[in-house]
Amino acid sequence: MIKRWLTTLCVALCCAFPVVVVAQVPADIRVGSIHDTSGIFGHYGRSMDKAVTLAIEEINASGGLLDRQLQKVAFDTRSDADLYVEYTDKLIAEEVDVVHGAILSSDREAIRQALREAEIPYFYNTQYEGGVCDRNAFLTGVTPAQQAQVLLPEVIERWGKKIAIVAADYNYGQINARWIQFFAERNGAEVVDTQYFDLTTTDFTGAIKQIEEVEPDFVVSVLVGGAHLSFYRQWATSGLKDKIPIASTTMGAGNEQFALTSDEVEGMMMVYSYSKQLATPENRSFLRRWTQRFGATDDIHELAVATYQAVHVWAEGVRRANSLEREKVIDSLESGLTIGAPTGELSIDPLTHHAITSVHLVEVRDQKMEVIESFPAMQPLDTQIVCNLNKIPDDNEQYAISVELYDVMFPSGQ
């Protein structure tokens, strides 16, 4: 009896007070940004995090994605490896839709598996040693072969065939040195001296003396970090700078040339995917937008631009997929889509999930990276040796790449 009375009362109340249906507002799309915006790598990470901000604001200003706005969820890892793990767990708990971040390869490897297991696409936007093969990961920085296969022939032709190498004594420096030697030999040159240095080394007196004794035609530097800038200062002081020129695969990636004097860096040659001196409409527009947002372009560097482009290429993948569903977005990014970017046209290699990107031979003049020549659509040939996600989509390794196998797969002259 009571139950029937309550039912009658509810019906009466519903008739007297009609139910108002409130339209559900779609939740924001959440973009994780996990970067060292302080600590010893803060110079790199702050600009990378700014790049995420600018890209998100541009996408939102053009209508967002899937009729939704993007929201940045950011953590400062403070150049602390343990914080990468802690903050990645927080990003996973907050159910972000994509993550961009990390500078060191060790930090990338500390978080890559967790994001794979959580099925959250991960973008690593730093130049690195190559070899990561993971369908959940996208790696948009240049790899050693993309730089060395352009740099070595050019500087050998200009400067000569006897080469000395100075490199950071860890995975990236050691692997890069092997690629430099490989492309030197392929182009008829000889490496007459190779020296490795701990990241904290600041005294290069003995190293410079040894280089002077072997009398190379030029030096190739794979030195990394603030401590290693001492090499360039001491090289100039030694009087060898005007006698033995320097090429590098690392100098300038974080605007290190501005930490030195103009005389100390004048004439150095590098190959990167980006230079502020690129005279293209896309780059001029990018520089203008960065200035409008942040006030100046002094902090734009290779890693920041790679991050900015990565957010946009992911967004284009979402648009083409018309979905945030991971498999659909990955399929979209693997489809050959191409975006116009500050570096030139950019796409994702479906075999390796690395960037197919332009690279540019540059020479430092008055601390500016003046573009000498551009090389479009450079494939990540080194990583293609070990990774084929079309054949093995479940692959999940960071491979050590054999330069000997590269020689077999890509013979000289091809």
- Asked if the model's pLDDT at residue 113 lies above 70, the reply is yes
pLDDT per residue as tens digits for the range 120-173: 999 999 999 999 999 999 999 999 999 999 999 999 999 999 999 999 999 889
pLDDT category of residue 12 using cuts at 50, 70 and 90? very low
Q: Which residue stretches of 187-301 are H helix?
A: 205-214, 229-238, 262-265, 281-294
Determine what percent of the chain is predicted with pLDDT higher than 70: 93
The more confidently predicted of residues 403 and 10 is: 403
Q: How many residues are there in the chain?
A: 414
Number of domains in the chain: 2
Q: What are phi and psi of 398, to 5 degrees?
A: -110, 110
Same domain for 325 and 212: no
The pLDDT tens digits for 353-362 are 999 999 999 9
pLDDT higher than threshold 80 for residue 349: yes
For residues 267 and 295, state if they share a domain: no
pTM of the entire structure? 0.90
Give dist(CA 308, CA 267) in Å, integer: 29
pLDDT of residue 86: 98
Last residue of a domain, one of 272, 295, 327: 272
Give the per-residue pLDDT at 23.
Answer: 44
Statement to judge: residues 205 and 56 lie in one domain: no
Residue 1: inside a domain: no
Q: Which residues of 209-219 are buried (b: 16+ CB within 10 A; e: fewer)?
A: eebeeeebbbb
Residue 373 lies in a domain: no
Q: What pLDDT shows up at residue 366?
A: 94
Show the tokens assigned to 377: 């659509």
| Same domain as 169, residue 183 | yes
Same domain as 283, residue 138: yes
Cα Rg, the chain, nearest whole Å: 25
Confidence tier at 7 by pLDDT (50, 70, 90): very low
**What confidence tier does 105 reach under pLDDT thresholds 50, 70, 90?**
very high
Domain at 268, CATH number: 3.40.50.2300
Arithmetic mean of pLDDT, 310-335: 98
What per-residue confidence (pLDDT) applies to 402? Answer: 84
Average pLDDT for 319-347: 97
Whole-angstrom distance, CA of residue 77 vs CA of residue 54: 20
Structure confidence at residue 25 (pLDDT): 52
Please compute the mean of the pLDDT values over residues 225-245 and round it to a whole number: 94
**Average pLDDT estimate for 222-244:** 94
Examine residue 13 and state whether it is found in any structural domain, yes or no: no
Residues 149 and 226 grouped into a single domain: yes
pLDDT at 18 over 80: no
226 and 156, same domain (yes or no)? yes
The whole-angstrom separation of Cα 375 and Cα 361 is 8
Q: What integer is the mean pLDDT of 203-208?
A: 96
**Is 153 contained in some domain?**
yes
Residue 15: inside a domain: no
Domain end among 253, 272, 291: 272
| Residue 405 belongs to some domain of the structure | no
Q: How far apart are CA 67 and CA 96, in angstroms?
A: 17
- Residue-level pLDDT at 17: 42
Range of the domain at 180: 145-272
Q: How far apart are CA 403 and CA 178, in angstroms?
A: 8
21 in any annotated domain: no
Sign of CA dihedral 180, 183, 187, 193: positive
Residues 391 and 309 in one domain: yes
Do residues 214 and 293 share a domain?
Answer: no
User: Does 121 fall in a domain?
Assistant: yes
* Whether residue 331 is found in the same domain as residue 234: no
| Domain stops at, among 272, 293, 327 | 272
| Across 160-189, average pLDDT | 95
Convert the pLDDT of each residue in 45-91 to its tens digit: 999 999 999 999 999 999 999 999 999 999 999 999 999 999 999 99
pLDDT-derived band of residue 407, with 50, 70 and 90 as boundaries?
confident
Indicate whether 108 and 40 sit together in one domain. yes
Confidence check: pLDDT of 95 > 80: yes
Are 263 and 293 found together in one domain? no
